[in-house]
Amino acid sequence: MMKYFKVTLIALLISTASYTHLFAQKFEELGQTPPMGWNSWNTFQTKIDEPLLKGMVDAYVASGMRDAGYTYFVLDDGWMAMDRDNNGNLVADPKKFPNGMKEFADYVHSKGLKFGIYNCAGTKTCAGYPGTHGYEYQDARLYASWGVDYLKFDWCNTDSINARDAYTTMSKAIRAAGRPMIFSLCEWGNHQPWLWAKNVGQLWRTTSDIHAGFDKDLSNGSWSSYSVMHILDLQNPIRQYAGPGHWNDPDMLEVGNGMTYSEDKAHFSLWCMLAAPLIAGNDLRKISEQTKAILTNKEVIAVDQDSLGVQGFKYYSFDGLEIYVKPLKDNSLAICFLNRSSRQQNIYFDWKEHTLVDAIAKLDIDFGKTNYSMRDLWTKKDIGTTAKAFKQTIGAHDVVMLKLSKQ
Ligand code: GLA
3-state secondary structure the chain: CHHHHHHHHHHHHHHHHHHHHHHHHHHHHCCCCCCEEEECHHHHCCCCCHHHHHHHHHHHHHCCCCCCCCCEEECCCCCECCCCCCCCCCCECCCCCCCHHHHHHHHHHHCCCEEEEEEECCCECCCCCECCCCCHHHHHHHHHHHCCCEEEEECCCCCCCCHHHHHHHHHHHHHHHCCCCEEEECCCCCCCHHHCCCCCCCEEECCCCECCCCCCCEECCCCEEECHHHHHHCCHHHHHHCECCEEEECCCCCCCCCCCHHHHHHHHHHHHHCCCCEEECCCHHHCCHHHHHHHCCHHHHHHHCCCCCCCCEEEEEECCEEEEEEECHHHCEEEEEEECCCCCEEEEECHHHCEEEECCCCEEEECCCCCEEEEECCCCEEEEECCCCEEEEECCCEEEEEEEEEC
The answer to whether 165 is a known catalytic residue is no
| Ligand 1 and 209: CB distance under 6 A | yes
Confidence of residue 142 (pLDDT cuts 50, 70, 90): very high
Looking at residue 407, its pLDDT comes to: 86
User: What's the whole-number mean pLDDT along residues 308-321?
Assistant: 97
- Give 50-82 pLDDT, tens digit per residue: 999 999 999 999 999 999 999 999 999 999 999
Q: Stretch 164-173: mean pLDDT, rounded?
A: 98
From ligand 1's centre to the CA of 126, what distance in Å? 6
Q: Is the pLDDT of residue 270 over 80?
A: yes
pTM over 0.75: yes
| Predicted pLDDT of residue 2 | 43
Please give the number of the atom of ligand 1 that sits closest to the Cα of 186.
8
Q: Mean pLDDT throughout 173-192?
A: 98
Residue 304: active-site member: no
**Mean pLDDT, residues 124-143 taken together:** 98
Under the banding of pLDDT at 50, 70 and 90, the label for residue 26 is confident
pLDDT at 350 over 90: yes
